[in-house]
């Protein structure tokens, strides 16, 4: 996967809690057998009406968010289904960083396997970012090495991410290759049980 | 004296392959269940890197999410068909056992695992599906994973996992007549919210849990993910042992009895400590109906739908407003006055033989309301066969239900079983998310008994008031 160290980008605010993976990518788009091309379907039922026409009243469709790469949302983001198509769709649409007060466990994990950085900030910090990004085009920098989020107007916040996931993201490692360096231990474990 | 441990800690410790300061543990996986939707990219990854499936005999695949539940021989949807054929080719190429659409073992992956005895106490079980938590009912550590992790498990038979915190959900007292495991888990999520389990593995304990059948326990553990927990377990006991006795993949004779003792020894020790504990009284729980767009938005059947005035803060107000709007409800009306157009009895939450049997008791001698389309989708070929042998299918068919073939079906509507836009469904599934059963479809989660009652009346009704003899 592509490493992520420091990212600067336009913020898209999605002021909703409990956004589930069925919203991020509806089930009718899960039938493809490749990892590519899911971006066009992200938030499909919000971005398009029942006749597949773009809904101009949905904020992500507004020109001011074109080219966004940082998604800021409410608590428990990515709850529900384990579908990795959700981070695939977000990434293919252009998102490299997500910021929310909390995430569902499986979704959080899935992001880190795909080079998407899921940042946890406090509820108050997230609300500040949402307010800023709703008001105007708003850019943030996210630095994984120093674990800091900041803008050029004085906002700065720190976040936590466990070291293992951080290393994986910083280096873009193939996790299976890492695990296979322990292949002898796996074999020993299997033999000991038989 | 040995430190008392929870079932969660016991299963975990038996599976640690490698431990290192500052890293998650590398856990061995005993059983990897695979289905057509979340596996193609994982097999493709193996192929691209010239890797093999490390333990094909610990892997078991089936087709469930996408399969049609009528006219099985002609799959009209070309994309669905490709996904199913891809699974078949992948299983052949990598030597993975497969129960394909025509196989007698086919069914929803979380129904057939226990049915075949592949699911056993003390195992670590994963699947690219969040409802893998179902298997925790047996005292297995079972959780859903993403496709990258599916590939990882295929290649290494292991997974990196941070040791979870433990949460005891203690259910005191007894469930009343006509109040089911489904009502209990909905009430738990309604009371504690859709993210109280995030970061934890739950163990369900207490009198009401011990009294549940394995089917009831599976319903409870299945919806752990709806409370945010990746896994939910119940300590193994005699109920667990008797369910598994004689099943295909468990040992026979004395070997079974030896194993059964090992299983029971996995139960949480007296005095074991959890990181967190919550309690709920079973006696106070009524049949539940969800009114909104997540499973925590749930109320007793006797209650009224909330209004924005009931909100506890601004965020809650926004959520209630959105949910009422999507669900086409005013707020304040009695939930039992809400008319439905569809009934779905099925899904990995409630499609086992016992679920269908209980729903059939309600249906017997009645007709489906003329405004309602009602379908029953058994969880597996084998559930279907047993129901047909015992005449359960006839009860449903005479009442006007459609009797279908096994699959995930209308729970997520990846096949043709879709609720049309703006229409309302009483569903025994697990998620009432926006668009889950179809774009613009409105889902209300209920027990099989409550779904059956709603089918007959054309609106929600307290199943206990129908005068069914088995409920008295």
Query: Looking at this predicted complex, what is its ipTM?
Result: 0.96
**H-helix or E-strand containing B191?**
helix B181-192
Chain B hits for A43, CB-CB cut-off 8 Å, are none
pLDDT of residue B437: 98
Contact B330, B324 (CB under 8 A): yes
* Closest to B154 in 3D by CA, of B81, B89, B95, B207: B95
pLDDT of residue B43: 98
Contact A147, A161 (CB under 8 A): yes
Contact B149 A83 (CB under 8 A): no
Across chain A, mean pLDDT equals 96
Say whether residue A18 is in contact with chain B using an 8 A CB cutoff: yes
Radius of gyration of chain A (CA): 18
Q: Which residues pair with B202 in a beta bridge?
A: B167, B232
pLDDT of residue B471: 73
Could you give the strand order of the β-sheet that contains B158-161, starting from the edge strand earlier in sequence? B16-18, B25-28, B158-161
pLDDT of residue B467: 79
Contact B79 A32 (CB under 8 A): yes
First to last CA, chain A: 36
Spatial distance between the Cα atoms of B82 and B87, rounded to a whole number of angstroms: 9
> To the nearest whole angstrom, how far is the Cα of A29 from the nearest Cα of chain B?
9
**Domain ranges in chain A?**
6-193
Count CB-CB contacts under 10 A for residue A154: 6
Chain B hits for A51, CB-CB cut-off 8 Å, are none
Query: DSSP code of A158?
Result: E
Question: How does A96-114 read in b/e, with b if 16+ C-beta sit within 10 Å?
Answer: bbbbbbbbbbbbbbbbbbb
Given the structure tokens 């598994």, which residue do they identify? Answer: B244
pLDDT of residue B472: 57
Chain A residue with Cα closest to B434: A23
Contact A26 B147 (CB under 8 A): no
B70 sits in the region (left: phi over 0; alpha: psi -120 to 50; else beta) called: beta
pLDDT of residue B41: 97
First to last CA, chain B: 48
Chain A hits for B44, CB-CB cut-off 8 Å, are 33-35
Spatial distance between the Cα atoms of B114 and B386, rounded to a whole number of angstroms: 16
Q: What are the Cα distances from residue A9, in Å, to A6, B130, B158, B172, B389?
A: 10, 32, 36, 51, 62
Geometric angle at alpha carbon A164, from A109 and A96, rounded to 5°: 50
Which of B82, B156, B436 is opposite residue A33, by nearest beta carbon?
B82
What are the pLDDT digits (tens) for A83-140?
Answer: 999 999 999 999 999 999 999 999 999 999 999 999 999 999 999 999 999 999 999 9
Contact A30 B198 (CB under 8 A): no
pLDDT of residue B184: 98
Could you give the strand order of the β-sheet that contains B424-427, starting from the edge strand earlier in sequence? B402-403, B373-376, B342-345, B424-427, B442-445
What are the pLDDT digits (tens) for A24-70?
Answer: 999 999 998 999 999 999 999 999 998 999 999 999 999 999 999 99
CATH topology of domain A6-193: Aconitase; domain 4 (3.20.19)
Which of A82, A103, A180 is opposite residue B146, by nearest beta carbon?
A82
CA atoms within 13 A on the CB side of B412: 28
Contact A189 B322 (CB under 8 A): no
Which of A82, A185, A186 is opposite residue B129, by nearest beta carbon?
A82
Which of B24, B65, B439 is opposite residue A164, by nearest beta carbon?
B24
Chain A hits for B294, CB-CB cut-off 8 Å, are 18, 20, 79
**H-helix or E-strand containing B59?**
strand B59-62
Contact B194 A35 (CB under 8 A): no
> To the nearest whole angstrom, how far is the Cα of A120 from the nearest Cα of chain B?
14
Max CA-CA distance within chain A? 63
Given the structure tokens 């193939």, which residue do they identify? Answer: A174
Say whether residue A118 is in contact with chain B using an 8 A CB cutoff: no
* Helix runs in B288-338, H state only: 314-327
Residues 6+ apart with CB under 8 A from B148: A84, A110, A113, A114, A175, B42, B45
pLDDT of residue B254: 97
> To the nearest whole angstrom, how far is the Cα of B32 from the nearest Cα of chain A?
15
Strands A139-143 and A148-150: antiparallel
pLDDT of residue B74: 82
pLDDT in tens, chain B (472 residues): 689 999 999 999 999 999 999 899 999 999 999 999 999 999 999 999 999 999 999 999 999 999 999 998 888 889 999 999 999 999 999 999 999 999 999 999 999 999 999 999 999 999 999 999 999 999 999 999 999 999 999 999 999 999 999 999 999 999 999 999 999 999 999 999 999 999 999 999 999 999 999 999 999 999 999 999 999 999 999 999 999 999 999 999 999 999 999 999 999 999 999 999 999 999 999 999 999 999 999 999 999 999 999 999 988 999 999 999 999 999 999 999 999 999 999 999 999 999 999 999 999 999 999 999 999 999 999 999 999 999 999 999 999 999 999 999 999 999 999 999 999 999 999 999 999 999 999 999 999 999 999 999 999 999 999 977 777 5
pLDDT of residue B29: 98
Contact B433 A189 (CB under 8 A): no
Chain B hits for A191, CB-CB cut-off 8 Å, are none
Contact B228 A76 (CB under 8 A): yes
Strands, E, within B306-459: which ranges?
342-345, 373-376, 402-403, 424-427, 442-445
Residue to substitute from B195, B259, B314, B429, interface A, most A β-carbons within 10 A: B195
Spatial distance between the Cα atoms of A93 and A96, rounded to a whole number of angstroms: 9
Contact B158 A175 (CB under 8 A): no
Chain A hits for B128, CB-CB cut-off 8 Å, are 82, 84
Chain B residue with Cα closest to A74: B315
Contact B457, B446 (CB under 8 A): no
């Amino acid at each position: 996967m592509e490493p992520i160290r420091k990212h600067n980008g336009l913020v898209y605010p999605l002021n909703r809690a409990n956004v589930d993976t069925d919203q991020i990518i509806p089930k009718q788009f899960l039938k493809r057998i490749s990892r590519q091309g899911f971006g066009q379907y992200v938030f499909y039922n919000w971005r398009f009406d029942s006749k597949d026409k773009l809904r101009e009243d949905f904020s992500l469709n507004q020109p001011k968010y074109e080219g966004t790469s940082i998604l800021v949302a409410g608590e428990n983001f990515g709850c529900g289904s384990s579908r990795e198509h959700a981070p695939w769709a977000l990434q293919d649409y252009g998102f490299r960083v997500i910021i929310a007060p909390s995430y569902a466990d499986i979704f959080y994990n899935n992001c880190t396997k795909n080079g998407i950085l899921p940042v946890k900030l406090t509820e108050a910090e997230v609300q500040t970012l949402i307010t800023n990004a709703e008001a105007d085009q708003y850019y943030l920098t996210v630095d994984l090495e120093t674990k800091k989020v900041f803008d050029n107007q004085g906002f700065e916040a720190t976040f936590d991410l466990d070291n293992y996931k951080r290393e994986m993201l910083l280096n873009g490692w193939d996790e299976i290759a890492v695990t296979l360096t322990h292949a002898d231990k796996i074999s020993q474990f299997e033999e000991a049980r038989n | 004296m040995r430190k008392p441990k929870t079932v969660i800690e016991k299963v975990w410790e038996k599976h640690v392959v490698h431990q290192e300061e500052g890293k998650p543990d590398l856990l061995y996986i005993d059983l990897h269940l695979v289905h057509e939707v979340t596996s193609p990219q994982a097999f493709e990854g193996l192929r691209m890197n010239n890797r093999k499936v490390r333990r094909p005999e610990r892997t078991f695949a089936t087709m469930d999410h996408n399969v049609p539940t009528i006219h099985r021989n002609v799959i009209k949807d070309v994309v669905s068909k490709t996904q199913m054929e891809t699974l078949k080719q992948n299983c052949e190429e990598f030597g993975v056992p497969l129960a394909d659409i025509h196989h007698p073992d086919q069914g929803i992956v979380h129904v057939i695992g226990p049915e075949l005895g592949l699911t056993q106490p003390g195992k670590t079980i994963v699947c690219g599906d969040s409802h893998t938590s179902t298997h925790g009912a047996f005292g297995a550590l079972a959780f859903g994973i993403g496709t990258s992790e599916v590939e990882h498990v295929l290649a290494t038979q292991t997974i990196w996992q941070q040791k979870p915190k433990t949460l005891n959900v203690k259910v005191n007292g007894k469930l009343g007549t006509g109040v089911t495991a489904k009502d209990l888990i909905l009430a738990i999520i309604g009371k504690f919210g859709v993210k109280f389990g995030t970061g934890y593995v739950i163990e369900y304990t207490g009198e009401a849990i011990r009294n549940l059948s394995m089917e009831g326990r599976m319903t409870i553990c299945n919806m752990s993910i709806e409370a945010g927990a990746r896994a939910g377990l119940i300590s193994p006991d005699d109920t667990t042992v008797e369910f598994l006795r004689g099943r295909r993949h468990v040992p026979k004779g004395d070997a079974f009895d030896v194993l059964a003792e090992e299983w029971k020894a996995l139960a949480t020790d007296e005095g074991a400590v959890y990181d967190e504990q919550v309690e709920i009284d079973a006696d106070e729980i009524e049949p539940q109906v969800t009114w909104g767009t997540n499973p925590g938005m749930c109320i007793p059947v006797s209650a009224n739908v909330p209004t924005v005035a009931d909100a506890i803060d601004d965020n809650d107000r926004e959520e209630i407003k959105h949910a009422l709007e999507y669900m086409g409800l005013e707020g304040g009306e009695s939930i039992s006055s809400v008319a439905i157009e569809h009934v779905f009895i099925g899904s990995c939450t409630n499609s086992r033989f016992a679920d269908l049997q209980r729903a059939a008791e309600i249906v017997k001698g009645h007709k489906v309301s003329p405004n309602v389309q009602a379908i029953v989708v058994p969880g597996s070929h084998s559930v279907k066969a047993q129901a047909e042998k015992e005449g359960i299918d006839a009860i449903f068919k005479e009442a006007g239900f459609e009797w279908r073939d096994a699959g995930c079906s209308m729970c997520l509507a990846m096949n043709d079983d879709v609720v049309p836009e703006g229409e309302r469904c009483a569903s025994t599934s697990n998620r009432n998310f926006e668009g889950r059963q179809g774009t613009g479809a409105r889902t209300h989660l209920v027990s099989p008994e409550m779904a059956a009652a709603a089918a007959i009346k054309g609106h929600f009704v307290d199943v206990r008031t129908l005068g069914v003899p088995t409920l008295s």
